[in-house]
Amino acid sequence: MSFQLKPQTEAGKRTIDAAQSLIASLAERATQSDTDNQICPENYDDLISSGVASAFVPKELGGFGLNSVQDWITTIVTLARGDGSTAIAINMQLGVSRGMALAYQATKAQGKETTGLEHQLKQILSGEMRICATATEPGTDNLHPLTEAVANDKGYLINGRKIFVTMSPLATHMGMNLRMRDNDGDHLVSTMLPMNTPGLEPQDDWDALGMRASGSQSVLLNNVQVSRGAIRKLGTWGQWNSNVLINRALGNLPLVGAFLGIAESAHDLALTKISSQKRVATAVINRSGVQHHVGEAEILLAQCRAILSAAGMATDEFLQRHASTPAAIEDCHRLMKDYQSAKWVVNRGAIDIVSKAMDVLGGSGYTNSHPLARMYRDVRAGPFMQPFAPTEAREYIGKVALGVWPTE
C-alpha cells in the first residue's frame, strides 16, 4: 500500500507486529461488540498477552520499551484495521503508561527510588493495572475543566463530571485533569484514581452512533476524597503552557491513526468484494466510473498516510530536539498546529474514504450487518477528538501561522 506507515524502531516493530497479529480476531469480534454496545474484554486480554497494552513499559521490566510516537501511531492504525473502538480505547492506557515509563527513567537517571513506578509498570505488564484517561467535560474545553479539587483537611474533595471516558468499564485506574484554586492562583492539575475510589461513579451511559465498543461512558465525581499528594500541578487553569501543549498534542495524535486504520480497512474490504463481482455483464473493476472512484479513494489514502506519517516523524524529532532543552511555547504551538493539520486532513479524508467504499460496494454496504456500515458510524467520531473541534481548528492553525499566539 502506498505510503503505508512503517516501524521506525526495533521496539516499534515488535509492537506493530503484535498489533498486526490481533487484526483478524479484533475484526471478528467487532460486529458483536458493536451490536451489544459493550467493550470487549477478550480484546483487552489479547492486547495484554500480546504485549501491545504494555508496549511503553521499558525492556528491562519486560515490556517492548516503545519510545517513538510514530510507531505508537502506526500501532493504533494497525489495531483500527481490526476494530476502531479497541484502538481508541487502548490508546488511553498507552498515553498514560508512556508518561509513567518516562518518569521511571528520569527518576532512575537521577539515582532515586523507583520501586513504586516499577511496581505499577509491572502491573501494566501483567494487566493488573489498566488505565483510562479523560480531559473532556460538557460545555467547556480541555484547558478549562470545571471538575474541581477543593482543599480540605484530608487533602482535596473532588466534584464534577467527566465524559467520553473511553475504556473505563475495563479500567482499574482513571487519569484526568481538574481545576484547583488556592492562594497561589487558579491551577490546572491532574490526578489518577483507582476506579473503586468512593464517589467515583461510572454511569454506564455510553450509547453512541459509533465507537460503541469503546466504553466511553461518563463518570461522576461525587465528593471524592483524595490525599494532598494525589494532585499534580500542570499549570494555570485556562492557559496553555509548553508541557500541556506537548502532552495534548502527542497524546492525541495517535488517535488520528484510528480513523486512518478504519478507512484503510473499509477501502480494502470494498476492493476485495468487488474484485469478483459483475454488474449486468461487466466485471465491476472494469467500469470506468468505479476506476475513477477507486482512484480518488487511493489519492485520499495516500494523502492521509503521508500527512499522518509526517506529523509522527515531526513529533519524534521535536521530542529528540527538546530531550534536554525546554521548548519555547511558540514551538509547542507549532507542534500542536502540525497535529491539528494532520487531524483535519485525516479525519475528513477517512470519512470520505469510507463513504467512497460504500459507493463502490453499493447497497449491501448500507445494511446493518455489514462491517462497512459500522465503519461509517465509527469513523465519524474522528472530528470529536480533542483538541480542537472542527469549529476551532482552522482558526487555531491560522493564528499560529500568523504569530497571533493563542493564550487559551
Q: Using the rule CB under 8 A, which residue among 27, 220, 271, 319 binds a copy of itself?
A: 271
Q: Does 31 bind a copy of itself (CB under 8 A)?
A: no
Binding segment toward a copy of itself, per CB under 8 A, in 64-72, 81-89, 150-158, 203-211: 203-211
Question: Which residue in the set 305, 315, 333, 336 belongs to the binding site for a copy of itself (CB under 8 A)?
Answer: 305
Question: Which contiguous run of DSSP H or E holds residue 395?
Answer: helix 390-402
Cell readout for 46 is 489479547
At 44, the amino acid letter reads: Y
Residue 311, all three cell numbers: 506529523
Question: How far is 286 from 299, CA to CA, in rounded Å?
Answer: 19
CB environment 356-366: b (16+ within 10 A), e (fewer): bbbbbbeeebe
Q: How far apart are CA 95 and CA 134, in angstroms?
A: 11
| Shortest separation between residue 224's beta carbon and a copy of itself, angstroms | 23
User: CB 202 → a copy of itself: shortest distance, Å?
Assistant: 17
**Is residue 141 a contact residue for a copy of itself (CB under 8 A)?**
yes
Q: Which is nearer to a copy of itself, 223 or 367 (CB)?
A: 367
Q: Which is nearer to a copy of itself, 39 or 393 (CB)?
A: 393
Minimum CB distance to a copy of itself smaller for 42 or for 405: 405
2 touching a copy of itself, by CB under 8 A: yes
CB of 61 to a copy of itself, least distance (A): 34
Please give the radius of gyration of the chain, using alpha carbons only, rounded to the nearest integer. Answer: 21
DSSP 326: P
Instruction: Write the burial class of residue 286 (CB in 10 Å: 0-12 exposed, 13-18 middle, 19+ buried).
Output: exposed
- Whichever of 116 and 398 has its CB closer to a copy of itself, that residue is 398
Max Cα–Cα distance, the chain, nearest Å = 80
Backbone angles phi, psi at 192, to 5 degrees: -130, 125
CB of 113 to a copy of itself, least distance (A): 40
Q: How far is the CB of 313 from a copy of itself (least distance, A)?
A: 9
Name the pairing type of β-strands 219-226 and 155-162.
antiparallel
User: How far apart are CB 188 and a copy of itself at their closest, in Å?
Assistant: 13
Residues 104-123 that bind a copy of itself (CB under 8 A): none
Question: Hey, which bits of 77-172 come out as E strands?
Answer: 131-134, 148-152, 155-162
Site string for a copy of itself, 230-249 (x = CB under 8 A): --------x-----------
Q: Any idea what the Cα angle at residue 303 is, between residues 369 and 337, rounded to 5°?
A: 105
Among 59, 228, 233, 292, binds a copy of itself (CB under 8 A): 292
- Interface with a copy of itself by CB under 8 A: which range of 70-78, 170-178, 180-188, 375-383? 375-383
Among 171, 345, 357, 379, binds a copy of itself (CB under 8 A): 345
User: Reduced to 3 states, what is the DSSP secondary structure of residue 171?
Assistant: coil
Compute the distance between CA of residue 375 and CA of residue 359 in angstroms, rounded to an integer.
Answer: 14
The grid coordinates of residue 341 equal: 493539520
Q: How far is the CB of 134 from a copy of itself (least distance, A)?
A: 12
What DSSP string runs through 273-308? Answer: HHTT-EETTEEGGG-HHHHHHHHHHHHHHHHHHHHH
Shorter beta-carbon distance to a copy of itself: residue 208 or 329: 208
Q: Which of 101, 294, 332, 336 binds a copy of itself (CB under 8 A)?
A: 294
Nearer to a copy of itself, 54 or 214 (CB): 214
Q: Which of 293, 329, 331, 371 binds a copy of itself (CB under 8 A)?
A: 293
Collapsed DSSP state (helix, strand, coil) of residue 231: coil
Site map (CB under 8 A) of a copy of itself, residues 38-77, x = contact:
----------------------------------------
